[in-house]
Amino acid sequence: MAPKVQYSVGRMSKTKKNRLCPAIHRVITPQECGGNRISRYNCPANCKFNPFSPSQYDTFHLIEANAIEKATEWLLATSPNRAQTLAELDRLGSISDLDNFGYQIAGLYFERDANGRTRAERWAAAGFPTLNNDERVIQSAIMQMRIRLIEVHRILDDRRVEVADLLETTPTEFLVCDRTLAAQACRFTTLLAWFYPLPHFWRSFAVAIAVPAISSYEPLQVAEEIVRHLGGPIARDAWNEWFGHNMVKFAYALQAVALARQAESLANMDAEFGKAVYELQAPYEACRQTLDAIVSVAPDDLSDGERSEGFAEARVWFDESVQAIVVAENARPVLGRVLLGQKHWQINAIGTERFERLKTQFEHAFGNKVRFKESSRDNLAARFASQQPEYDPALVPPNLLAEPDTLIFASNRVETKGRSPEELHSDVMANNDRQWLDQPLPALEAKTPRQAALDPVLRPKLIRVLKDRVRTCDQRNLESGRSDDINWMLKELGAHEIIFDPPPPRTKPRQADDEFYDIEGQPHSELEPWPPLPPRPFTIQEVIQRIELIQRTFNSALEAMNAMETAGAFIIEDVHALLGNALNEAQHAFLASFLIQAWFVFVPPGCYGPNIEPQEIQRAFQQQLKSLQVASKGGNEAAAHYLMEEGPQPAVVRTLGSLALDAWMDVSPGEDKEDMTPLLTLTVIKTVVELLDTACRRSW
């Protein structure tokens, strides 16, 4: 059996040792450290006991969450009517978290009493009762928060991002530590948010609102237009106070602008889906020969729905006109499609003009071999428009409605020549980028990017267009898992001032990841995504450190279980249902204590975790039993080796398994040697650990 780990988790004992403090250069107790770090001692970032360093981000995030929760409690405690304030928070929370957050921001940090003090200032004057040292540091820092319009420049790793504040006269870069931002941001993403300073980084405070460029307006100009339209101050140094009361209104105005521009684009878009049905007046084979003799027609695949409607074959009809939109080299623009039935044929096309041309060409080619039966048109743009959310037009600055976006439907077919879809996509995108350099662009006054690069007057517009292109490339990589980069284009055009290293490889964010607000101001989660696992198994020391964090975080197993459910974990309930009467309630509770630890080893407190279905647990458990049965044929040592040493995370299983066996011996010193409960417990722990390892990797 594996050696025992000398760390008693089951009894929740904590070993606290004195430590050498690099800030004051002497040995101090943990109590002195915890009571003075950052507030009185200038703690360096490389101190492992400094929770305000980027390397201790998970610990910091938990402290921050506790501090914010206690701030909400202070808001309630100092309200004239606690029940009424709580009801208002619930009401606003049912609308959106942004509304709820805006109410709390104003109530805590911007509304002033008769003496001119905010609730937060009164809290600080009272010494921040109920807060410990770390939480006081955070609340003191939050009181220094300021509104910033950041432009992302570099994503350094899974938590650190370098940004510049566009509200500054001369924007300078500063470091933000935020895992959600690092997981989702692209170069030149622009976000409006509150930020507060900490010794080693800045921290975004709860929400951020994406502010895009609109028409000819830069993100900063967009923000200025909306603030001015809403009656806000022109001077940016007065924005902090204004946004303290109006951030929610700003977000809804930005949403209204987007919806208004979208409505205008849909109104001008030719997205009519035309369909015409013809009866065959000649034999099917003769008609098919006529169709296949047309050089602009080629075989096409039928969808399942088309096949169920009785069609036997399909053809694509290419657009040979000069106005056809070609998206890539070797691509052929599509005019429409022909669906072949034994008695009826149908032609389809998107766009009124394309449909009429296809109809004319089809009837000219077939003459009296077909007879027109009926046609129908479906205005897709009008359908899309009817599904858009309502908005308040009074929130929309008129200037931001200028130059509505033009949306054009176009379809092209590209010959694969044996290439995979990934290779084909890469070739098409690379070819588009090369062609783009020599295409006249309306945004550049009908000049090409190469020409604009040589024109001092057009160069600022070119830089803006290039930023958008880089951001789009990063977003495409984030969604596809690719690693394309277009820094070569920036070098070729001499745009060296906006060349930053591309983000590290990342995967497409899950919907629930989005802590940051889009233009609708709707967050998907109050928790951060779980951090990516190291590319290797955890070490024993890493496992113990993560278990120590669990001990520092939760005062009871019930508190930890509630946190698991908030993070999306129902493993304990699923395992209970799986094992049923194989364990009694006391044994189920015993096993649950180790499943809690397994979860938080992979998903630190303050993060949500992956979804693991009950069926996955059942399949994995049955497979473990089969593998254990095979290993047992080699004797007890072989079975023990399989349980504790084999698999993707042996250190986790070994640590939790040894702790479970130690605890089992303590609570059942005279256990029946035939009792299979300890073996069942170890098997379940191994099952859950390996499922967590797989689940935490598959989404990253």
The per-residue DSSP string of 117-183 comes to -BHHHHHHHTT-TT--HHHHHHHHHHTT-EEEEEEEEEE-SSSEEEEEETTSSS--EEEEE-HHHHH
| Count of C-beta atoms within a 10 Å radius of residue 136 | 17
Per DSSP, which regions of 12-54 are E strands?
19-21, 26-28
β pairing state of 607-608 and 528-529? parallel
Q: List, run by run, the mean pLDDT of 10-residue segments along the chain (700 residues).
A: 33 59 93 93 92 88 87 93 92 86 93 94 94 95 96 94 95 93 92 95 89 91 96 94 95 93 82 91 95 94 88 93 70 90 94 92 95 89 76 93 75 67 67 85 90 94 93 87 89 95 77 37 55 85 84 78 80 84 80 88 86 83 85 81 86 86 60 64 89 76
From 148, 137, 111, select the one nearest 199 (Cα to Cα).
137
d(CA 93, CA 95): 5
Compute how many other C-beta atoms are within 10 angstroms of the C-beta atom of residue 688: 27
Which structure tokens are listed for 267?
A: 């109104």
Dihedral angle of Cα 108, 111, 116, 122, to the nearest 10 degrees = -10
Q: Residue 322 — φ and ψ, nearest 5°?
A: -75, -20
List of long-range contacts for 625-633, beta carbons under 8 Å, 24+ apart? 625/683, 628/683
- DSSP bridge partners of 154: 162
Report the DSSP pairing between strands 344-350 and 331-340.
antiparallel
Q: Please, which residues bridge with residue 372 across strands?
A: 278
State the residue for tokens 């001499």. 494
CB distance 396 to 253 below 8 Å: yes
Whose structure tokens read 């946004």?
Answer: 243
| Alpha helices, DSSP H, located in 350-501 | 352-366, 380-386, 421-436, 449-453, 459-480, 487-492
Write down the pLDDT at residue 546.
85
Q: Residue 275: enclosing H or E segment and its boundaries? A: strand 272-280
Is residue 299 helix, strand or coil? strand
Residue 264: name the closest of 70, 432, 404 by CA: 404
Distance CA 586, CA 556 (A): 16
- Beta carbons of 388 and 262 less than 8 angstroms apart: yes
Cα–Cα distance between 416 and 422 in angstroms, integer? 11
Size (the chain), residues: 700
Residues 137 and 38 sit within 8 Å (Cβ to Cβ): yes
Residue 42 CA to residue 60 CA, distance in Å, equals 17
Residue 463 corresponds to which tokens in the numbers above? 């830089």
Q: What is residue 2's predicted lDDT score, i.e. its pLDDT?
A: 33
pLDDT of 88 reads 92
* 364 three-state secondary structure: helix
Number of Cβ within a 10 Å radius of residue 268: 12
Using only C-alpha atoms, the chain has a radius of gyration, in whole angstroms, of: 31
| Residue 404 one-letter amino acid | P
Give the Cβ contact number of residue 290 at 10 Å.
Answer: 16
Residue in 502, 504, 472, 470 with CA at minimum distance from that of residue 700: 504
CB atoms within 10 A of CB 119: 20
Which DSSP string corresponds to 570-616? -HHHHHHHHHGGGS-HHHHHHHHHHHHHHHHHHS-TTEE-----HHH
Spatial CB neighbours of 448, under 8 Å, sequence gap ≥ 6: 437, 438, 439, 440, 441
State which amino acid sits at residue 210: A
* Separation CA 695–CA 628 (nearest Å): 22
Nearest of 155, 226, 154, 152 to residue 190 by alpha carbon: 152
Q: How is the chain split into domains, by residue range?
A: 58-247, 272-386, 540-698
Q: Residue 86 in 3-state DSSP?
A: helix
The encoded tokens of residue 192 equal: 């409006």
C-beta neighbour count of 404 within 10 angstroms: 17
Rounded to two decimals, what is the model's pTM? 0.70
- The tokens for 63 are 């402290």
User: Can you read off the two tokens belonging to residue 329?
Assistant: 């080299």
CATH of domain 272-386: 3.30.160
